[in-house]
Every structure is written in C-alpha cells, then in structure tokens.
Amino acid sequence: MITEKKLITNDRLNESYIEAVHSSGLKIYISEKPEYSSAHAIFGTRYGSIDTKFRLKGTENFTDIPEGTAHFLEHKLFESEDGNAFERYAVTGAYANAYTSFDRTCYLFNCTSRFEENLSILLDFVRHPYFTAETVEKEQGIIGQEIRMYDDEAGWRVFFNLLCAMYSKHPVRIDIAGTTESIAEITADMLFECHKTFYNMSNMFICVAGKVNADEVLAQIDREITENEPREVIRGLHDEPRGINYPRAEQKLAVAKPLFNLGFKEECKNPEKTLKERIETAVLLEIIAGKSSALFERLVNEGLVNDGFGTEYFTGFGYAAEVFDGESSDPEKVAEEIKKEIRRLRENGIDENDFIGAKNSLYGQMVMQYNVIDNVVSALVSTAMTGDGMFDEMDVFEKLTLDDITDCLNRQLLEEHSALSVIYPAE
C-alpha cells in the first residue's frame, strides 16, 4: 500500500510533482503534464558499475562481485522463459530501453498510448529474473564483443584512460561493462543473488512524467508491487589515495584529430558531494571555460578548439573530478592554457559580471528543462538518487555568492592532482 504521499510545488515555475512511498520501500515520483501527448517512465535501482563491493546493513563482511555485473544483469533482465520485454513493447508501440551507469541501472519506456499496459510490462520484467547457465554463457560472448567494440571507440577510451590515470583503486576506473576476464566469472546464481539484493524495492524508484494521472499510476503500482523484506545495501569504499595514479595517458586510434580529456581529481572527504558543492562547481566551470568565457573565445580564435570543447563535473559515490574535453591539434597547449586561466583567476579574482553571467546561464538551463519530458524524468531520477528535492536547485542558485565560487576555486582544480588523456590519430 502507499504509506506516504505528498505534493511538492513551485509557484514561480508553476510546476509540481508527487513524491510517494510504497510499503515495500519503493520510492515513487510523478510529474503530471496533461498538456503533453506522451508519457515517460523509469524504473531504477541504486546499483551501478562501481558496486563491486557491498554488504547488507546488519552484517559485517563485504561481498565482492566481478566488474561489469550490474551491466550484465541489465542485459539479462529483458529475457524471460517466454520471450523478451522488447517483443512485448513492440505490441504496444512503446519505445523501451535501459542503461547502466556508474551508480545506477534504469529501465525505461515512453509512449503516446496504452500507458497502463506499458507500465505493467516494466514492473513485471524488471522484478522477475530468468537466468540459466546456457543463457549466461551466451551473454558473456555478446558482451565480450561489446567490450572489444568500445576498445576502439575514441570518445569512450579517452575518458576511461583519464579515469585510469586519476584513480588507482576506485572501480570508477573500470569500463561499465567490465572486462572480458571479469564477466567470465559471472554465474546465474551470482545474478540471482545480485538481483535479490539490489532489486529489492527498498533500493529502487519509479519516476513518471507526462500525460498521466498520478492517482491512477499510484493505484496501479499498489496493485502490482508486492511486499518484500527490505534490504539496506551499504556501498563499499575503496581507500582511494588523494593523489593521481599517473599524470598522462596516450593512445592511438582512428581519429582525424587528437581528442583530449583534462581532469582535476578531487578529494572526497564525504562519499558524495552536496547539491551546493555540485552547483558551485558547475558555475565555476562555466566561468572558466563556458561558451561566453574569455578562455573559450581565445582558444577558438587561435584554432586550438572548436564548439565541441566543454566541461563536466564528474562526481558520484567516492569520486569527483572536473573534466575539460574536446579535440585539438595541440592538446598539450590547450591543457596549459586551461591551467594558466585557473591560475589567473586565483591571482586576480573572479569578475563579478562573469559570475552573474555564468550563474544566470545555468539557472536558465535549469528552468528550461521543465519543458522537455525526458529532462523532467531525469530530474526526478536525480531526486531519487540524491534525496534532494527537484526544486532545491533554485534555492541554492538564489543564495549563491561570488565568495562561494571563490572558495570553490581555491580548494579545487589543483594542478598537482590533474591528469591529461589524449587519443592521437593512428599512423
């Protein structure tokens, strides 16, 4: 049964969503958008590629599982003894997919009709695994081919090469799909145990947005979700050193121009960064290298980067790094110019107009996300993962000061903790 339900509103945005809890522990988030013609749903679990070490609350010992298990399980859940979920969605006309990231696995669909039927399919196949030794062995071959394919994907490799340069112990450095060696260790029994642990309703969430009736969605979930004994999963920490693993990574692949990722590894005194820390860093990166920054204009004018140059605050459980990425005929020069700009800002201070411009730009992007259903569902997923309210960002932005960003600059983006990854054209 639904044990908690509350409506969360924001009058300035004229937006709202419902947050509810099922007695099984399942968290539910629904944003009604009656003016839209489609609906989007995501059924997710807090289980990703970094979860190679965990224990249940109340137990002392950690369990180790092979790298790539979360991704492997995602692939296998679509299968059943009677067919697969994609075939069922083909009948309803819905688009369905799934993804595994570093800290979560999500199953999704969007549709313009037959929402109740589509949601029923989603709630069914995700909760009812079917594995055999034969199907696991077959999947090992399929995912092994996927891993080898990504070994030649330059954009993928430049990023993971950077992670390997920055991190020596944290599993964030390992490809989300694992390695051919690690997935060879996966068994059907292991998948059943991981499903029992991580796909427990108390570790999961459902996010829905679009042309739906929230009360009807909650009633359907109440009918179809059964009780389970809650299992609280404790993620394992990996004693990651403060320093980087090594300062530079190079590889040659079939690219027309060198690709680069410059990363600045951060200390994670607490496993996860707060919403305020994430927004501060996003604003700082926009000031340093956003499309309106002096650095971006200079690099473009000198022909060192193009419009593909950008930044990301890459952060999750036990890891955080500011990343600058793009393509350039001279990646080393670009990296040096970025470091030089950071030094200049530390020495001369951040211009208040640049701060206001960056803050307003990101605030505007945040507001615009509510016009796209996919973005609304993604925001609800972030709410489910972090515990921050979907509208909490607005309060943080409004209270953000130049002093906050200056403090952020002074404690982050340290050169001694930076690494450069480059993919050069193969000869």
The verdict on residue 242 lying in a domain is no
Looking at residue 275, what is its pLDDT?
96
Residues 191 and 317 in one domain: no
The verdict on residue 81 lying in a domain is yes
Looking at residue 382, what is its pLDDT?
96
The verdict on residue 127 lying in a domain is yes
Residues 29 and 139 in one domain: yes
Q: Give the CA count within 13 Å in the CB-facing half-sphere of 89.
A: 23
The verdict on residue 421 lying in a domain is yes
Active-site pick, 19, 32, 67, 74 = 74
The verdict on residue 241 lying in a domain is no
Looking at residue 28, what is its pLDDT?
98
Look up the pTM and report it.
0.94
Q: Which of 183, 214, 235 is the last residue of a domain?
A: 235
Residues 105 and 172 in one domain: yes
Looking at residue 231, what is its pLDDT?
85
The verdict on residue 409 lying in a domain is yes
Residues 319 and 355 in one domain: yes
Residues 331 and 380 in one domain: yes
Residues 195 and 253 in one domain: no
Q: What is the CATH number of the domain that holds 183?
A: 3.30.830.10
Residues 220 and 271 in one domain: no
Number of domains in the chain: 2
Looking at residue 269, what is its pLDDT?
87
Positions of the chain with pLDDT under 50? none
The verdict on residue 62 lying in a domain is yes
Residues 328 and 266 in one domain: yes
Residues 273 and 229 in one domain: no
Q: Which of 180, 203, 235 is the last residue of a domain?
A: 235
Residues 193 and 50 in one domain: yes
> In sequence order, which residues have a C-beta less than 8 Å from that of residue 280 and are 6 or more positions away?
400, 404, 405, 408
The verdict on residue 414 lying in a domain is yes
Between the alpha carbon of residue 288 and those of residues 193, 263, 295, the distances in Å are 46, 14, 7
Looking at residue 237, what is its pLDDT?
82
Residue 74 designated active-site? yes
Looking at residue 83, what is its pLDDT?
81
Domain that holds residue 279: 248-425
Residues 199 and 286 in one domain: no
Convert the pLDDT of each residue in 103-119 to its tens digit: 999 999 999 999 999 99
Q: Which of 179, 210, 235 is the last residue of a domain?
A: 235
Residues 203 and 300 in one domain: no
